[in-house]
Amino acid sequence: MSEHRDKQGFYVLDRTYSELFKRHQYLTPLPIVQNKITEYDIRSANTSALRQARKIKPSTLAKIEALPKHEREVAVGKMIRIDKSIQKTISREITHAKMELFRENGVQDNEILSIKNDAVFIIGRKLRRTVFGEMEFKAKNTYALYINIDKIEFYYNQRDHSVSVKGIDDKIVEHPDHQEGMMSFLANVMRFLVFDRRDALRRYLIEFSNAYKEKTLPVQFYRELNSANIYRTDIDIAGFSFNLERATDDDRESINGIYNYTKFILPLIQVYI
């Protein structure tokens, strides 16, 4: 804490770390962050919080912790339905652990990219103190770049040239068509940005955009990267649009690729060309 005097001459203590620990959800307003980004998650957050609060018998928690992740979440969910106070305890302990993390490491607002309940994304440095009693923040992922396109978050892992997405279901992002299509495009864009190759990025975007509009790219690029996860077509049957779950390059001419273009490609063109 730092201090200063108020108008009456009394000392007032100032907090020297971010108060964003109070937030369950937070996202930087910055559209792009090019820096080391470390994602810290609390290990087994729910059971660790209950252990910290001594809310449940250690033997019961040990049995739950031995379960696979999904079964562990189901077990805690059943406990919450029986005793609503358990959820409040978990939330309180997670908030307190984030306060400890920020206080002990002097974390400032401008070092926080995102908060997603028990996950904290820190910009620019590795935190020294990450264990507070039963609550341990583990470095889960490290990224070199973050960009936000229309409220969807993209994080670039330079080590394996991969992109993590927040805002679209993982099962959709991991679909082979997207991995070979739009996710490979986004990974290439982010790699150009990481290495500050802006001229090469402009050329890439122009060539990619032209090929996309001319429908000369492999068909995978035209699957919509959204919850529908379909190939939308221009075919109309009795007033209903006809869409495809699967497609081949022979289907490209009938596919309407406007969604991916307006949602992802055009915004990047508008910024970097």
Whether 104 is in a domain gets the answer yes
Return the SS3 of 232: strand
What pLDDT, on the 0 to 100 scale, is given for residue 188?
98
Task: Determine the Cα–Cα distance for residues 154 and 245; give it in Å rounded to an integer.
Answer: 25
Whether 182 is in a domain gets the answer yes
Q: How many domains does the chain have?
A: 2
User: Cα–Cα–Cα angle for 253, 256, 259, nearest 5°?
Assistant: 145
Domain housing 194 = 168-273
- Averaged pLDDT score across all residues of the chain: 93
Whether 1 is in a domain gets the answer no
Last residue in a domain, options 148, 181, 197: 148
Range 117-136 average pLDDT: 97
What pLDDT, on the 0 to 100 scale, is given for residue 269?
97
Task: Determine the Cα–Cα distance for residues 265 and 259; give it in Å rounded to an integer.
Answer: 9
What residue type is assigned to position 90 of the chain? Answer: I
What Rg value do the Cα atoms of the chain yield, rounded?
23
What pLDDT, on the 0 to 100 scale, is given for residue 55?
87
pLDDT tens digits, 77-126: 999 999 999 999 999 999 999 999 999 999 999 999 999 999 999 999 99
Whether 57 is in a domain gets the answer yes
Whether 153 is in a domain gets the answer no
The H or E element that residue 136 is part of is strand 135-149
Query: How, if at all, do strands 131-132 and 135-149 pair?
Result: antiparallel
Whether 187 is in a domain gets the answer yes
47 shares a domain with 122: yes
CA distances from 178 to 71, 79, 124, 137, 165 (A): 29, 38, 30, 32, 12
Burial class from Cβ neighbours inside 10 Å (0-12, 13-18, 19+) for residue 237 reads: exposed
Instruction: Say if residues 124 and 30 touch (Cβ distance below 8 Å).
Output: no
Token pair 């081949």 in the structure block, residue = 248
